[in-house]
Amino acid sequence: MTRDPSSPDHLTEVLRRAGVLGSAHVSGVAVEKSGPTILSQIAHLRLSYQGPVHGAPRSIILKTEPPDRRGQRWYSGSQEVAFYTGVAPLMTQQLVPRCFEAEADPETQSWHLLLEDLTDTHVIATRWPLPPSHQQCETIIDTLARFHGAWWDDRRLGNAIGTWPDAANTTSRMQRLADAYAHFADRLGDNLTRERRNLFEQFLAAAPSLSAARYDSHQHITIAHGDAHVWNCFLPRDPADGARWFDWDAWFIGLGASDLAYMMAMHWYPDRRRRCEAPLLDHYHAVLLANGVAGYDRRALQDDYRLAALFRLQTPVWQAAYDIPPVIWWNNLERILLAIDDMGCRELLT
């Protein structure tokens, strides 16, 4: 992949292919702002045109690999490219940003996305790490539930879309996790108490059978976002519009409750979680039912949520291994341990 995705000629080709440009062409591209996130580089491109333009975007988002992580195989961007090429085009509801182009080169590990710019119509609820209001959380969870409901037990899961993990895949993944945990424990030293080490060791031993017991039936499974914190959701400025979930680089076939546990159990402190968790789970469940999900009662959701919270023990370990800043993974570790104790998740290990 050698083309410059931000060149006028390339953008002209892309937008014509998307049916939004007609006979006009992009005559100029200005980088309004550009900067890194933890795992990507985001550029806001302002476009100018020559010729009649009706409905063409005034600006577009270019998302690429960050320069300091270029070529790292653990994060090549290919998963998000796969989402926008294989999943998003099949959706009938507008729950994610429109993608004009998604390309990845497996040889060079280079990749890019050209996405609609929602800056004028949508906002992030709050500045990280402040939690949104309860009403904003309902909107965020409503959109997530509609996405999950749209893919709930879809026959294409594991066939045309994604893959089911087999025994060899699970064994390999758990070995990588065990290796990452060993480095994690060494790094923390006596900041990781013996009692917490025992919990991690029990989890590593029990995780394969717990996962198999829940997943092998392939029932009540959907596409999970995988990084479903509230700052990955754009909220509409106009209530008549809808929210949009973005940053799909960690999606997988799994439990919808996995996203909820990531959002609430791992990111919220006990006081807020105890006040908001149950009502928001109720709301999520009601939206699932309203979107055609059947045979999945509220108790089943609660059971999945507890299991998903326990499995979130993995998250700070992987975040530390991938050199995510400690201000993120250390606080995630402390909060998920509190949630696991609050919900009695250790019982699942016995």
pLDDT digits (tens, 9 = 90+) for 140-187: 999 999 999 999 999 999 999 999 988 888 899 999 999 999 999 999
Scanning 152-245, the segments in alpha helix (DSSP H) are 167-188, 194-215
pLDDT average, residue stretch 289-299: 98
pTM score over 0.85 = yes
pLDDT digits (tens, 9 = 90+) for 84-136: 999 999 999 999 999 999 999 888 888 999 999 999 999 999 999 999 999 99
**Which pLDDT value is given to residue 38?**
84
The domains found in the chain, sorted by start residue, are 8-116 (3.30.200.20), 123-349 (3.90.1200.10)
What's the pLDDT band for 71 if we cut at 50, 70, 90? Answer: low
Gap between the Cα atoms of 246 and 227, Å rounded: 9
**Which pLDDT value is given to residue 214?**
95
Nearest Cα to Cα of residue 38 among 309, 250, 314: 250
Query: Tokens standing for 267?
Result: 């990111």
pLDDT digits (tens, 9 = 90+) for 12-63: 999 999 999 989 999 999 999 999 888 899 999 999 999 988 889 999 999 9
Is the pLDDT assigned to residue 69 strictly greater than 60?
Answer: no
DSSP string of 297-348, one letter each residue: -HHHHHHHHHHHHHHTTHHHHHHHHTT--HHHHHHHHHHHHHHHHHTTGGGG
**Which pLDDT value is given to residue 55?**
86
* Residues contacting 101, CB < 8 A, separation 6+: 5, 14, 112, 113, 114
What's the pLDDT band for 73 if we cut at 50, 70, 90? Answer: low
pLDDT digits (tens, 9 = 90+) for 222-243: 999 999 999 999 999 998 899 9
Q: Which residues, listed in sequence order, are joined to residue 41 by a DSSP beta bridge?
A: 36, 64
Indicate the pairing of strand 111-116 with strand 122-124: unpaired
Mean pLDDT (the chain) is: 94
Query: In 127-170, which ranges are E strands?
Result: none
Contact 226, 299 (CB under 8 A): no
* Residues contacting 256, CB < 8 A, separation 6+: 144, 145, 148, 152, 222, 224, 284, 288, 304
